[in-house]
Chains A and B, each alone.
Chain A
């Protein structure tokens, strides 16, 4: 691999890493993602973000810095803003979960919905870039002339190289890309009154651009350093994990993603009803089938907030509950049923306004029981979303923080009756970005996975329990959507 600085822009944090040619993590830094809220929505503080990257690179020792050959940028899909030819912004750089453009989607008919899914492989949703771009173009007016819609990762790459382009996996999250032809869809753009030319040229993640002289000089980089937009973080995670086709990747972070690599998109009515999201891989060669669960690791923050605990205390609680679970001393009958939609619902409803429910609280329900029930609810939610894919999988490959949460992993394994293979390697997404920028590939065993086996007795218990709570679970999902 090539010595690479990776930038991973997550929902809650920005991760910066330096990997050497042996893929060793030389150093890393993590910062809260700098954003700004307004009455309209939430956008990135781009100057702050750029400073974080500059400071990280400038903080490296000169020898390491001089060896850097690649900068690979990955991050959340669906964010974006209008970027002028001089790389100034003609709109805010809008966050993925900001729905300010949703009014452009409301007039669309059911027929339009079907047509858009058939072309882009995406269910209509305000998260995707299309409606945000429509909003940005209208609000920019003449100031937006010549501007292109770039994802935050693409914008940072443009800042470093002076060039504006879009990477396939991120482009396929705009709801403006024709998946079959791999070109921007003028037809879909027209449905929201958008000129297709607002979207820039497409360039595979493996094709980078050299940094500008000014950028290289300012940060003390070799002028031949190339910048790659590595792609959508979950897709880059698939590269980092060496995901084979038709195997499930469960990438965990603030949200939780389920991803399969495929030879062809699934554009049938069942997939459309399930609101599964088709896309392109980072290289643009393969297709991805993806679903996102909005509440993943963010459940930690929710539980910490409500129980006033720090991360260490909550981890200790989880560890204790895990031990009790393994010892068979959790009374499932006493548990509240938690629908953990603290950030909206996953497919097939995909409602950002959906909210979480805890039902069955007793006067003596304990914090431990709620914590356990919350993770059990997340496992149930995961099972439901996996069912939507209608595929048979033999193993769940997990990357991200969940790999350090044995309770969460064990509940998934026991509930689904599937072994879980969890990467113990940190920063799999960033390692995927290095691989993409180096033009190389990885395999799953590179991630030092550990296997969590299914316990047949607990699987039987959870199967009975989930059958018993099924009516209430379905009711909670229906009412919270």
Chain B
């Protein structure tokens, strides 16, 4: 007689949607899936995320047969709670650029290098601490009412445990190292909150979630949650990148490039890093190690913008790009359609350079957009290698990873093997692995079915062109050594 497989659920409350995967504990194979959209906009009330989670769970067939759950979510984004657990106000998302002046103020007050020294983070407008200052300066009433600050996954985990408005259970809030490391009031060295930085930014103390160890359990599901029986163990959860890294099995020598809404490049490190140049964020991972990471606001949405401008589909954009030569005949795109976080250019917009009657073709334009996007990411690899975090292979994931044009052009821009894990929801998968660890005491080893791309001749032109365009727009003063390669 066949025995029913043990099922575990991973939840990813991302910027755009909430996704739920239910997987076979023994193989990692997905057996059910559900998804629900989040509201657009960059300031969102957290109740929308809870509602979307419940919808996604329902669309995934509910958790009646699920043995464990874990939640991952968008990093940095805070949820402000009052003394009894009510949400105080809508939350500014990590990509809300309204906190840029507050980031500047915090850097000015504390010193950019001091933030890096204390927290490993070159402060960006995405970090939780800048959102605290934003709230302090824009909504004093909400600030006064705030008694606790959690991150999205912390708050959703807490809700799954049956807490919520009026629960008087702020001390039950939990988080993990990865999420804490994105707040800019936590130290990778000590593993402790830097509460003085929190107070400096927010102007008052507040309750912060307890930081759990990688294999701890946050709790169990509470009562009367639609589609979710009570008593299911809940894993520690993590930030989205940490979950994806866990699912990919990222270890020493692995670099990951994730091309989703935003672009992310990261690698594994046993120790926290401190990048005085201000590119690399020293996050913690989900295993007890660290995840030095560089993020850009612009990534695969650039391809949407390119396809819209050229009036073509994504497939046609990719086909045209592959018809053009490497370097796009010198046509160059700086792809800051939405401003940029790395480098710190929140008010920038995209620009097209070196356009002539001869080279401003659809094919070159298509390729220049893809090259511009990928060179931005490759430059982030350079930032990691300057910290002696060199990679032996590059794993390409995210929504744009299956594109042949992206794969081909990336292989021409880097001089290390490019590996494409099979398409999957790696954040939900990582969350599911955390759920599994609650049952087994260790993380499962599930296959990623990766394929290695054939090496292609290296092309330096797009990197050179981007550097020149950056200088010409005044984004950098001069070409720095090493920026041309």
Contacts and interface: CB of A to CB of B under 8 A. Distances in A.
A342 B337 contact: no
A359 interface: yes
Contacts of B305: 361-365
Contact of A306 (B301, B337, B338, B360): B360
B192 interface: no
A480 B309 contact: no
Contact of B472 (A343, A367, A480): A480
Contacts of B350: 360-363
Nearest to B336: A361
A28 interface: no
B353 A355 contact: yes
A307 B311 contact: yes
A38 interface: no
Contact of A359 (B351, B354, B356, B361): B351
Q: Which of A355, A360, A370 is packed against the most chain B CB atoms within 10 Å?
A: A355
B306 to A, nearest CB: 10
Interface residues of B, number: 28
Contacts of B354: 355-356
A308 interface: yes
B311 A357 contact: no
Contacts of A308: 310-311, 362
A336 interface: yes
B356 A362 contact: no
B185 to A, nearest CB: 32
Contacts of A357: 351-353, 355, 472
Nearest to B473: A359
A358 B352 contact: yes
Interface string B446-462: 00000000000000000
B357 A342 contact: yes
A365 B304 CA distance: 11
A362 B349 contact: yes
A359 to B, nearest CB: 4
Contacts of A363: 301-302, 304-305, 308, 337-338, 350
A302 interface: yes
B474 interface: yes
B365 interface: yes
Interface string B309-321: 1110000000000
Contacts of A327: none
B352 A361 contact: yes
B357 A302 contact: yes
A361 B339 CA distance: 10
Interface in A330-345: 336, 342-343
Contact of B355 (A301, A355, A475): A355
B356 A305 contact: no
B166 to A, nearest CB: 41
Contacts of B365: 306
Interface string A273-304: 00000000000000000000001001001100
Interface string B348-380: 011111111100111001000000000000000
Nearest to B339: A362
Contacts of B353: 355, 357
B308 A302 contact: no
A405 to B, nearest CB: 18
Interface string A398-433: 000000000000000000000000000000000000
Nearest to A354: B356
B355 A360 contact: no
Contacts of A110: none
Nearest 7 pairs between A and B by C-beta? A479-B472, A356-B355, A361-B350, A359-B351, A363-B337, A358-B352, A363-B305
Given A336-B349, A357-B351, A363-B308, 17 more contacts: A306-B310, A306-B361, A306-B365, A336-B351, A342-B355, A355-B354, A356-B354, A358-B355, A359-B351, A362-B305, A362-B337, A362-B350, A363-B301, A363-B305, A363-B337, A363-B338, A475-B473
Interface of B: 301-302, 304-305, 308-311, 330, 337-338, 349-357, 360-362, 365, 471-474
